Structure 1
Amino acid sequence: MSRLNGNRAQAQAEHLKVNVAILGAGRIAHAMATTLVKMAADPHYADLVAPYAVAARDGERAAAFAAQYGFPVSYGSYEELLADPQVDLVYIATPHSLHAEQGIMCLQAGKNILVEKSFTANAAQARELLAVAEASGLLCTEAIWTRYMPSRRMIDDIVASGVIGEVKMVDANLCYPVSGKARMTDPMLAGGALLDVGVYPLNFIDMVLGPRPIDRIVTSMTPYETGVDAHDAITLHYADGTMATAQASMLVSSDRGGYIWGTDGYIVCQNINNVEGIDVYNNDHALVAHHDVPAQLTGYEYQVADAANAILDGLTECAAMPHADTVRIMELMDQVRNQWGLTYPFE
């Protein structure tokens, strides 16, 4: 079990920080390492978390990674990392298809986990991983950074203020030309646009509208040459008459906009993948308010801080991304893929 044991007072008395380890050494792992180093040097987080270790399947690669960021420990296998009693939180930074297996391995070794999105490759894997998490009493949370950012609360507050009236429709898109990356095009790695970029528009919609019943899903996609989805279009028809649309692609760029349309006006969110600003318009299309988003270290710090605080408080999930929300999004993506007739080879 974690040396912290969910006891914040004891941890503070002993000046213990949450030691964070990274499992995997790919691109997203580097982004997290940068974040951890900045958090360790920032007075807001310096007493909360410490960058501690990295593990990769290649010991030399792990050692080079640790040296680059000043991590004190590196391991050439995941098993060695999980045997280290000083590791409190493991950030899983591997492809989607490996998350369930590796997450279970971490939990069974007594490690709290922060699992990069998409949480798993499908809902069945998500439920299996969460069952192990719940039995373990350890923290297990999905690392989809937009759920933890201050911009989310800002958007919620603007909608709740009634300034745009009753929300009737939401639209969100995220597209990047990233098909040159092997993990994006490989079906064995659960590649494709949906789980990597399409998950963000769906989460944006879900954050605005919440868990209301969906009557009907209308969707289509254009396949990549390997069979995974390249472009996606998804329309959600809710039982209360609300509607939402989402678009994603791994071949082109888009404006990355999030749009919330109400009876008295609308909200424009610049870049749903890391909201940079929020504009509010009335029914005459006049700008009535602009909201700046607080400065950040990298944007990843919020999910790390939430996870670390949850560990110190003995919690098994984070309020910003509870298990129910993770499962709901995974089930939605399963339904979408089912309509496309897209399955991964391991399913």
Structure 2
Amino acid sequence: MPLPTHLPAPRRLPAAQIPALRWGIFGPGWIAERFVQSLLQHSHQRIVAVGSRTRHHAQAFADNFGIPRAHGGGISALVNDPNVDVVYIATPHNHHFPAALAAINAGKHVLVEKPLALNAQQVQGLAEAAAAKKVLCMEAFWSDFLPKFDVLRQVLADGMLGEVHTLLADHGEFFTPDHRIMDASLAGGPLLDLGTYPVALATKTLGAPTQILAMGEPAPAGVNGQASMLFRHPGGAQSVLNTTLFSQTSNRALIAGSEATLTLPDCFYAPGPFTLTTHDRRQTLHWEEECNRYQQLHHEAEHFAWCVGEGLLQSPVRPLSDTLLTMATLDEVRRQLGIVFNEEKA
């Protein structure tokens, strides 16, 4: 089947349908800085408060970005701030669940940096709590909200690849021993960080694995250092995935079907190009965009605000069922590799 003459355009939310929510930031670190910068530069969302364990850190962050209020002492003051509509949680992984639960119980909508929680049981707990409180809880899995990935989803839905048989994805970076990803007390290791990208791509594209085979290697710091995974999906499709914190790897992904192959080069999960090529190489379509990475974090916030404005309790792009599937898959990988986080130990 020949390819169309051009790729579909990314679908944009009408600006008039995106309310300007009042955001509170919990966890004023590296990713929160980039999130706030993107919202301030590219959206109408309002950052009204920041919270941290110490008032000093919260105030420094507030001063840097002109945020009106700073709260110390943990999550409580922030979630009880009557001027906050939604809480964005950007703490280390093992603090996501208790912070998100506190926000939900306070009646706040909550956007949580990936991973939403440490395991599927915690994800289910947040889903049930959010449903009971009738608030929106969503994982800030930024890839899913990029224009690039909206085009990719349309390519797959339109059947341009034909029947997909193979998915390959890799995400590896080098980290020094003092990085938080090396810290077992912070649920370190690559799986909940780098590894979520290839696993989420595989499960969203091909569905829940019917069989999982995993192999890993520990790091001297006492965390998992790398993991390789082979998944079988419904219909016999297979995905081969790798993640490591020992080395900088290709960070590429490939989705191959019976009609064409889609190739996502370096940093496949981030803004950037991809190529769609028929097997006879007579037709090639390119998606081109600036590799401006975290400048595009505003897409997830605007989608979240749109969901709130529409009264939705689940994102149609990243529903909690997607997050639960990714996490349940990672749970099985960790089971096979013997990885247990401190919070899971009896």
TM-score by length of 1: 0.88
Residue number among 29, 38, 47 corresponding to 2:41 in the alignment: 38
Residue number among 108, 113, 126 corresponding to 2:110 in the alignment: 113
1:157, distance to aligned residue in structure 2 (A): 2.1
Counterparts of 2:237 and 2:147, CA distance in 1:
25
Residue number among 25, 49, 53 corresponding to 1:22 in the alignment: 25
Counterparts of 1:160 and 1:105, CA distance in 2:
38
Which residue does the alignment assign to 1:339? 336
Which residue does the alignment assign to 1:8? none
Identity %, equivalent residues: 27
Which residue does the alignment assign to 2:261? 266
> What aligned pairs does 1:84-123 form with structure 2 within 5 A after superposition?
84-123=81-120
Deviation sequence 1:2-55 (CA, Å, 0-9, x none) = xxxxxxxxxx9xx9730111101111111112112113xxxxx32xx1121111
Deviation sequence 1:282-340 (CA, Å, 0-9, x none) = 22346611112478771211110111111122221211110111111110000000000
> What aligned pairs does 1:51-62 form with structure 2 within 5 A after superposition?
51-62=47-58
User: Does the Cα contact within 8 Å between 1:53 and 1:74 map onto a contact in 2?
Assistant: yes
What secondary structure is seen at the aligned counterpart in 1 of 2:210?
A: strand
> What aligned pairs does 1:90-239 form with structure 2 within 5 A after superposition?
90-209=87-206, 211-212=207-208, 214-239=209-234
Which residue does the alignment assign to 2:80? 83
> What aligned pairs does 1:264-343 form with structure 2 within 5 A after superposition?
264-270=259-265, 271-285=267-281, 288-293=284-289, 298-343=295-340
Give the gaps of 5 or more residues in structure 2: 1-15
User: Does the Cα contact within 8 Å between 1:269 and 1:275 map onto a contact in 2?
Assistant: no
What secondary structure is seen at the aligned counterpart in 2 of 1:234?
A: strand
What secondary structure is seen at the aligned counterpart in 2 of 1:194?
A: coil
Deviation sequence 1:211-247 (CA, Å, 0-9, x none) = 34x2211111111123321111111012311000111
User: Does the Cα contact within 8 Å between 1:201 and 1:272 map onto a contact in 2?
Assistant: no
Larger displacement relative to structure 2 (153-162 or 169-178): 153-162
Residue number among 46, 64, 67 corresponding to 1:50 in the alignment: 46
TM-score by length of 2: 0.89
Counterparts of 2:139 and 2:116, CA distance in 1:
6
User: Does the Cα contact within 8 Å between 1:92 and 1:103 map onto a contact in 2?
Assistant: yes
1:165, distance to aligned residue in structure 2 (A): 2.4
1:182, distance to aligned residue in structure 2 (A): 4.0
Residue number among 245, 252, 273 corresponding to 1:257 in the alignment: 252
Counterparts of 2:124 and 2:88, CA distance in 1:
19
What secondary structure is seen at the aligned counterpart in 2 of 1:195?
A: coil
Counterparts of 2:19 and 2:311, CA distance in 1:
15
Give the gaps of 5 or more residues in structure 1: 1-11, 40-44
Deviation sequence 1:41-93 (CA, Å, 0-9, x none) = xxxx32xx112111111212211111111111111132221221010110000
1:274, distance to aligned residue in structure 2 (A): 0.4
Deviation sequence 1:109-150 (CA, Å, 0-9, x none) = 111100100110111111112111111100100001011111
Which residue does the alignment assign to 2:3? none
What secondary structure is seen at the aligned counterpart in 1 of 2:296?
A: coil
Q: CA distance change for structure 1 residues 222 and 189 in 2, over 3 Å: closer, same or farther?
A: same
User: Does the Cα contact within 8 Å between 2:204 and 2:322 map onto a contact in 1?
Assistant: no
User: Does the Cα contact within 8 Å between 1:266 and 1:280 map onto a contact in 2?
Assistant: yes
Q: What RMSD over aligned residues (CA atoms) do the two structures have, in Å?
A: 1.9
Deviation sequence 1:133-189 (CA, Å, 0-9, x none) = 111100100001011111112112223344432211111111111344542122221
1:261, distance to aligned residue in structure 2 (A): 0.8
What secondary structure is seen at the aligned counterpart in 1 of 2:312?
A: coil
